[in-house]
Amino acid sequence: MPKTWQTKLIHSDAKIPQGYRSLATPVYRGSTTVFPSASAVNDSWDQVRVGYTYGLYGTPTTLELAARICELESGEQTVLTPGGQAAISLIDFALLQACDHMLVPASVYAPNRKLTTDLLSRFGIQTTFYDPAIGSGISALIRKNTRLIWTESPGSITMEVQDVPAIAAAAHERGVSVVLDNTWSAGVLFDAFAHGVDITTQAVTKYIGGHSDVLLGSVTVRDEAIYQRLGAARQVMGYGVSPDDCSLALRGLQTLAVRLAAIEVSALSIATWLAQRPEVERVLHPALASCPGHEIWKRDFLGSSGVFSIVLKRETTHRQVLDFVNALKLFKVGWSWAGVTSLAVAYNIGHAADRPAYEHRIVRLNIGLESTSDLIADLDQALVSLRAE
């Protein structure tokens, strides 16, 4: 039937040559998915098995990223979320219900801790925060209603390396699932499933994205029942991801190996140099023998990344710590990490009984891709200014 020009704007018969091939993954954007017939319409979220149904559940771009992360982590299925914290909350909401109990390391990523204390507690979910160095001793904390044990290794800010295999063995004896936030390792420097983990998550925002310009998270599993619960929860929570962000993450994957290798060497050089400074009480880098859990790191990890912390001398005031960070020129001040730009953030972990006695004296560093010697020079001038006060 003939069409007016207005209709041609929407329903065009224009033709273009077929067979275009590129090294770049196409960016497929879309909310509405077109079905071949009225009888084919369905609202299944599991598009890997039933085909495409709705843009919220993914496009070819997003499903390719999920498949490639799953392959790297040796999983069976990966679900993507709009950020790392969204991945954490998806796991909790999918697998827990009122009156359930979970165990979370005291060193956990602060938003994860806040999720448990400020939100999940309102729904009757109980949480015990445990010493990250507990290892097999976690058995004593497992209750009849314990459903999840969270691990994060190394721990956020304080960098404790956990004995994940020992925790997993104790958990599995009691039928409890173990989750690992594996962001520090980019999902590749620590083989979560080989060490007994049931669910592994990471902020794809970090090393896979790699350039501080995407917000994405992933959850990878091997168990089909857990995957079904995650997918069903993700559907009703509306956790869609941007195909454009996924495209950037796919690009980031291609340079992940060379970025991690360069960052590891630079970070180790800087950490070793800092450990000799008179202004520094301790360097919390898992690859250094002085870091809690170093022997476990050496046993279980394939390498180290670029995030570590320093603890300044005990007499250092809070004001001096802030002045030190402000004196840095190349290191920028900002949340997140794992991009190409080096970052420094001062923390005050207070006097909590379940945390190390670092109080206000801890500064977390993210080492980027700048010259190692330039970064050391920047730290040197900031430390000298601190000592001169």
Residue appearing with tokens 């909350």:
89
Residues 206 and 178 in one domain: yes
Other CB atoms within a 10 A radius of the CB of residue 187 amount to 28
CATH for 67? 3.40.640.10
Residues 55 and 185 in one domain: yes
The mean pLDDT values, 10 residues at a time, for the chain of 389 residues are 88 92 92 94 94 95 97 98 98 98 95 95 96 97 98 95 98 98 98 98 98 97 98 97 97 97 98 97 96 96 98 95 97 95 94 84 98 98 81
| Domain range for 268 | 255-387
Which amino acid belongs to residue 362? Answer: I
- 371 in a structural domain: yes
What is the model's pLDDT at position 292?
87
- 172 in a structural domain: yes
Residues 65 and 195 in one domain: yes
Residues 311 and 225 in one domain: no
Q: Final residue of a domain: which of 250, 274, 290?
A: 250
pLDDT digit string (tens) for 313-351?
A: 999 999 999 999 999 999 999 999 999 999 999 999 887
Residues 243 and 260 in one domain: no
Residue appearing with tokens 């001398």:
313
Strand pairing of 199-203 and 177-181? parallel
- 94 in a structural domain: yes
What is the model's pLDDT at position 388?
61
Residues 232 and 97 in one domain: yes
Distance from the Cα of residue 89 to its chain's centroid: 12
Residues 262 and 131 in one domain: no
Residues 333 and 302 in one domain: yes
What is the model's pLDDT at position 354?
79
- 339 in a structural domain: yes
137, with CB counted inside 10 A (0-12, 13-18, 19+), is: middle
CA–CA separation, 108 and 217 (whole Å)? 17
What are the E-state strand segments in 239-285? 280-284
The total of structural domains in the chain comes to 2
Q: Of 311, 307, 313, which is closest to residue 349 (Cα–Cα)?
A: 311
Q: Final residue of a domain: which of 209, 234, 250?
A: 250
CA atoms within 13 A on the CB side of 184: 33
Residues 73 and 192 in one domain: yes
What is the model's pLDDT at position 353?
74
Residues 224 and 281 in one domain: no
- 14 in a structural domain: no
What is the model's pLDDT at position 389?
56
- 292 in a structural domain: yes
Residues 82 and 137 in one domain: yes
Q: Final residue of a domain: which of 227, 250, 273?
A: 250
pLDDT digit string (tens) for 257-308?
A: 999 999 999 999 999 999 999 999 999 999 999 898 999 999 999 999 999 9
With a threshold of 0.75, does the pTM exceed it?
Answer: yes
Residues 146, 148, 154: CA angle, nearest 5 degrees:
130
Residues 102 and 151 in one domain: yes
CATH for 323? 3.90.1150.10
**Could you give the 3-state DSSP secondary structure of residue 378?**
helix
